[in-house]
Structure 1
């Protein structure tokens, strides 16, 4: 890593990463040209890069992939969690190659360019990852110019002028702006090879006249649909596969904006409430979200939170959250379930954590990270509410935690008259 004095790129360099500390990382740009400022993090998943790039939780961040061969399976229109990427850009070791996967419809670099996202290849991602592990996630600017001309001092000033994620509410920016019913008129269940996404109403909660269950017969034409409990999901930056898993678990899902009021949510007559993942500082989002969540808890309706939703639930019951040094991002994070000692391999993406010592009486810790011992789950002992810090819906990635969606829907049906 060089300092920020030179303005001319080394020969062949068409991309650069300028850290707020003054370090400069040169590489080869791909995707869109331009510059973007945010936080640099690293992600350890070996696949699922479209899912990562389109996850709204990555708003304000650029992702360093530790796996070197990113892009070799190409891009398609199914492996996305939103219409457009939310991550600012990606940093990879090897150049993007021609796709070699039967589901690919375009190259990753073309997909990045079409979605106005910057890529940087030819980087020693091991060194950059070690730098983040030792010094924390830095603010930086990623830039791509085909002519290799960069005003490095100006990029440094941009990086140093960015305030950082702490204290930043990004949920309003990535949330839906209107209420809608998930999967209305379309396909709403999870994806399966040979079937695609499940047809609305035919994923689970089916009576199949003694035939095999939904996992082996996902779309049984003769199935008779049972009435589905109604889950209202508050969208702080949700991934689509969360809603698909709720459908597979037997729920009907309506989605509301992050800023929805208690009255607006209850007007939909929910049987259960879901708090989604999302980006930014939970304390900042909590300024408007926490009062609503407290009112929802008082109704006694089952409530389930994931990631940012987990942090917001903790804040709502009197806990606190803090910015992590480097965060947890990857598809291989071991989490211990305290109820029985089982270990789940999970997908994570968070830069803030719940302080376990801040959790009050009536709140029980349910999961812990085996990487650093940080809190990874909680439940209320006096109300049907629970949450986890990881992503049980993540796919591709570990599927050890799909049971949480079934647990949530079971809580709802158990309370039904």
Structure 2
């Protein structure tokens, strides 16, 4: 905690702080999350692969980190089996913590995982800079250690976070294939809690010989256009009229498979307080989100329509086919962390599967 470090953005903007966690230089895309709580879930979300995450809430670490048991794959405290961010930036780091589940500090957790953190940073100034200039490449450096800027969105990040081989979670009906593009554990848990049998498969799974009733395409990191194999397989499933649900990156894959376009948002939506309005009902839901890309709704084919719209900036947050069982949402209905206002999306999907 006594070592000084710097966050340097590609446009030259620099902020100083104190190093915690594991002391090493890293680079990545710098993004911010507006959530007040939920750092164990956020740091283990595979959608953050390749990114340096800044938390806007000033006090971080005060409730510590629970135990991460390798055998407990569906532990709801973590969204994967490891920290996914390249680095963490906070304002005020609490080295003391108190929670009945806590087993170690945030500082210790990052150190053990080999992840650098930077505290004492003016995260308000950083967030305003990213809001005005858009998400930027950045690096955390310290004396004697430097690194080149690296754009993670030019890499096939999904390949780095997908499951290696198909994994079956037997339960009841229906039988759902979960395409793992960097799937959060809570998505899997929501399907299992509803009695579905889930076959979790790699992002490039070809569905040859598989027996299933519906397909859910998960969240994941990076540019959806890098997922060419997943897009091609999704298009094939559409031709077979298989019930489909896309979440976050999965919704973008669904749109691209339908022939629409996606684009990079200026600074993305990351947090637990994003209001979304359902088209038609005008009902507003508070959602948990983590995405830097969106669907260009004007490019949707005529048989598709917008389902949800972001109340803050008017960007698309969901799409659906007018007559076939294909739907996608940009937000996270499983939350983790965040509000569960839209948890009904899973029930809606399974009803769609049963009806088909």
Instruction: Give the TM-score taking structure 1 as reference length.
Output: 0.81
Please, which of 168, 174, 179 is the counterpart of residue 181 of structure 1?
168
Given candidates 235, 243, 250, the residue that maps to 2:188 is 243
Match of 1:377 in 2: 318
Partner of 1:109: 107
C-alpha RMSD of matched pairs (Å): 1.5
Alpha-carbon distance, 1:338 to partner: 1.1
Aligned counterparts of 2:322 and 2:33: Cα–Cα separation in 1: 34
Q: Distance in 2 between matches of 1:396 and 1:360?
A: 34
- Is the CA contact 1:362–1:381 (under 8 Å) kept in the aligned structure 2? yes
Q: Deviations over 1:254-287 (max 9, x none)?
A: 1000111132xxx2301110100000111111x2
| Alpha-carbon shift at residue 341 of structure 1 (Å) | 1.1
Q: Which residue of 2 aligns with 1:258?
A: 203
2:8 maps to 18
> Does the Cα contact within 8 Å between 1:29 and 1:143 map onto a contact in 2?
no
Which residue does 1:38 correspond to in 2?
Answer: 28
Of 241, 244, 253, the residue aligned with 1:303 is: 244
Distance 1:171 1:164, change over 3 A: closer
Q: Among residues 307, 316, 328, which one is paired with 1:387 in the alignment?
A: 328
Show CA shifts across 1:210-266 (max 9, x none). Answer: xxxxxxxxxxxxxxxxx4200000000000000101112231111000111132xxx
Asked if 1:57 corresponds to 2:47, the answer is: yes
Q: Deviations over 1:44-94 (max 9, x none)?
A: 011110111110000110111000111111001241111111111110000
Give the superposition deviation at 1:164.
Answer: 4.9
Structure 2 counterpart of 1:277: 219
What does 1:2-401 align with in structure 2 at a 5 Å threshold? Answer: 13-76=3-66, 77=68, 78=75, 79-143=77-141, 149-150=143-144, 154-155=146-147, 158-159=148-149, 162-165=150-153, 167-182=154-169, 227-263=172-208, 267-285=209-227, 287-401=228-342
Partner-residue secondary structure (3-state), 2:272:
strand
Shift of 1:411: 1.1
Specify whether residues 261 and 375 from structure 1 end up closer, same or farther in structure 2 by C-alpha distance, changes over 3 A only: same
Q: Is the 8 A contact 1:118 1:143 kept in 2?
A: no
Distance in 2 (alpha carbons) for counterparts of 1:383 and 1:142? 47
Contact 1:44 1:67 in 2 (8 A): yes
User: Which TM-score applies when normalising by structure 2?
Assistant: 0.94
C-alpha distance in structure 1 between counterparts of 2:15 and 2:350, whole Å: 48
Alpha carbons 2:34, 2:271 under 8 Å: kept: yes
Residue 2 of structure 2 contacts residue 19 of structure 2 at CA under 8 Å; is this kept in 1? no
In 2, the alpha carbon distance for the partners of 1:258 and 1:98 equals 40
Higher alpha-carbon Rg = 1
Q: What are structure 2's unaligned runs of at least 5 residues?
A: 69-74
Residues of 2 paired with 1:117 and 1:402: CA distance? 32
Q: Which runs of 5+ in 1 are unaligned?
A: 1-10, 185-200, 202-226
What is the CA-CA distance between 1:34 and the residue it aligns to? Answer: 0.7
8 Å CA contact retained: 2:288, 2:337: no
Aligned residue-pair number: 348
Render the CA deviation track for 1:319-349: whole Å, top value 9, x for unaligned.
Answer: 0001111111000000001131111100111
| Structure-1 residue corresponding to 2:72 | none
CA contact (8 A) 1:13 1:28 kept: yes
The answer as to whether partners of 1:54 and 1:81 remain within 8 angstroms in 2 is yes
- Which range moved further: 340-349 or 11-20? 11-20
Secondary structure of residue in 1 paired with 2:354: helix
